[in-house]
């Protein structure tokens, strides 16, 4: 596996990728996978997850989907061992380590009972890292996914676009005073911008029809979303796992403004180990600050800034 020596970036997104892969001496199958991922921003593969584990997730979560009247459950790994097993599947971690050259850190799971029908977006707006792009998603089909039950759509090569945060829309993410404002005012405008970007760039859309047990890895900046459900009453059980990689700072762009040094460092727990992973910037530990912000003063001293509206919001979140 190649180890980047010139740039602090995933080697599959490095401008020197060709030189590095020529030196990597990978077996033909692995080299082909890495080349496809570097060029397209995604790859479909066999995560080698046994059918019993997949069925255990579906059967274990069905009652909760029904009781909560929802089609989306976040972080079920905290109480469902089968969900945790999929997020930390050895083959998945092996492939991710090859693609990124660092140890992967599974930190979030999302389980769906039906298609999300979510508008096109990039995961980079939700989760990001310093250095950039050390984040990815792995989408595992827990049943056959086809055109009728709301499959995933994605735009090959869109991961090569710049990362667009809220500042391009003239918005300050750190000014959000409630989750509703962040989603309705800020995120809706972001989705509108992405829709226009796709149209103006004339990006080519692909729809993912895959079999139960197959999986898709996508780069953090790849544009993707959920297709409409056209088969009434259909299910689409899937599990999405999000991964960071070791040695980075992990933050939430939707509530961050880099230019004015308001950075929401995310608390990250490694699903595989159950242990918290410290954010790092060039090997220096950074404390997680959640929905508050660290101001780095010229003197090297630090103090937390929490705007009054955000303080009230945080207090409400803490109950």
pLDDT the model gives residue 262:
87
Which spans in the chain are helix H?
17-24, 28-40, 51-68, 81-87, 90-100, 179-181, 188-201, 308-318
- Check if the beta carbon of residue 131 is closer than 8 Å to that of residue 8: yes
Q: Alpha-carbon distance 287 to 26, whole Å?
A: 37
> Please, is 10 exposed, middle or buried when counting C-beta atoms within 10 Å of its C-beta (0-12, 13-18, 19+)?
buried
pTM score, two decimals? 0.88
Mean pLDDT computed over 49-63: 98
Q: Is the pLDDT of residue 50 over 70?
A: yes
The pLDDT of residue 291? 52
List the one residue out of 248, 301, 259 whose CA is nearest residue 174: 259
Cis peptide leading into residue 289 (ω within 30°): no
Q: What's the CA gap between 239 and 140, in Å, rounded?
A: 5
> Is the per-residue pLDDT at 302 higher than 80?
no
277: which strand partners? 268
What confidence tier does 177 reach under pLDDT thresholds 50, 70, 90? low
Structure tokens at 111: 């389980």
For residues 4 and 46, the model is more confident at 46
The full DSSP string for 212-225 is TT-EEEEETT-EEE
Selection from 110, 135, 150 nearest residue 217 by Cα: 135
One of 3.30.1780.10, 2.60.120.620, 2.115.10.20, 1.20.210.10 is the CATH number of 41-318, namely 2.60.120.620
CA nearest to 223, candidates 112, 123, 131: 123
Q: What pLDDT score does 6 carry?
A: 65
d(CA 100, CA 103): 8
Percentage of the chain modeled with pLDDT above 90: 75
pLDDT tens figures, 131-159: 999 999 999 999 999 999 999 999 999 99
Residues 304-314 have pLDDT tens digits of 444 445 444 44
Q: From CA 236, how far away is CA 116, in angstroms rounded?
A: 9
Question: Predicted confidence band at 179 (pLDDT cuts at 50, 70, 90)?
Answer: low
Q: What is the pLDDT of residue 269?
A: 97
C-alpha span between 56 and 77 (Å, rounded): 12
The answer, yes or no, to whether residue 318 has pLDDT greater than 90, is no
DSSP 186: I
pLDDT for residue 174: 82
Asked if residues 174 and 150 have their Cβ atoms less than 8 Å apart, the reply is no
Say which residue, 256 or 112, is predicted with more confidence.
Answer: 112
Q: Which residue has the higher pLDDT, 15 or 7?
A: 15
Integer Cα distance of 229 and 116 in angstroms: 9
Confidence of residue 173 (pLDDT cuts 50, 70, 90): confident
Query: Between residues 184 and 90, which one has the greater pLDDT?
Result: 90
Residue 113 DSSP class: S
At residue 108, the pLDDT reads 98
CA atoms of 94 and 294, how far apart (whole Å): 35
127, 220 in Cβ contact below 8 A? yes
Ranges 9-23, 25-39, 175-189, 245-259: which has the least confidence:
175-189
Q: Would you state the pLDDT for residue 45?
A: 96
Give residue 308's pLDDT.
46
Task: Tell me: pLDDT of 208 over 80.
Answer: yes
Give the Cα separation of 215 and 95 in Å (integer): 12
Length of the chain, please? 319
């Amino acid at each position: 596996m190649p180890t980047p020596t010139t740039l602090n970036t995933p080697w599959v997104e490095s401008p020197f990728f060709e030189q590095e892969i020529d030196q990597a001496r990978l077996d033909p199958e692995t080299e082909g996978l890495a080349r496809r991922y570097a060029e397209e921003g995604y790859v479909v593969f066999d995560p080698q997850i046994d059918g019993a584990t997949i069925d255990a997730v579906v059967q274990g979560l069905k009652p909760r989907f029904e009781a909560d009247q929802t089609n989306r459950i976040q972080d079920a790994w905290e109480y469902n061992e089968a969900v945790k097993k999929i997020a930390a599947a050895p083959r998945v971690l092996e492939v991710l380590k090859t693609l990124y050259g660092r140890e992967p850190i599974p930190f979030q799971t999302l389980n769906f009972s039906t298609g999300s029908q979510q508008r096109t977006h990039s995961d980079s707006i939700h989760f990001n890292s310093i250095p950039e792009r050390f984040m990815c998603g792995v989408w595992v089909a827990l049943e056959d996914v086809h055109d009728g039950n709301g499959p995933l759509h994605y735009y090959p090569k869109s991961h090569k676009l710049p990362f667009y945060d809220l500042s391009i829309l003239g918005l300050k993410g750190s000014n959000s005073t409630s989750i509703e404002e962040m989603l309705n005012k800020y995120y809706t405008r972001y989705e509108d911008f992405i829709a226009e970007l796709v149209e103006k760039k004339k990006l080519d859309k692909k729809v993912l029809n895959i079999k139960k047990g197959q999986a898709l890895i996508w780069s953090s900046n790849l544009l993707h979303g959920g297709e409409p459900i056209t088969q009434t009453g259909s299910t689409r059980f899937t599990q999405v796992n999000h991964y960071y990689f070791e040695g980075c700072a992990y933050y939430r762009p939707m509530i961050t403004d880099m230019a004015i040094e308001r950075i929401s460092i995310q608390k990250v727990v490694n699903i595989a180990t159950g242990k918290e992973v410290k954010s790092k910037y060039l090997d220096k530990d950074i404390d997680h600050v959640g929905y508050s912000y660290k101001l780095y003063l010229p003197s090297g001293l630090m103090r937390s800034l929490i705007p009054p509206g955000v303080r009230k919001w945080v207090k409400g979140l803490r109950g």
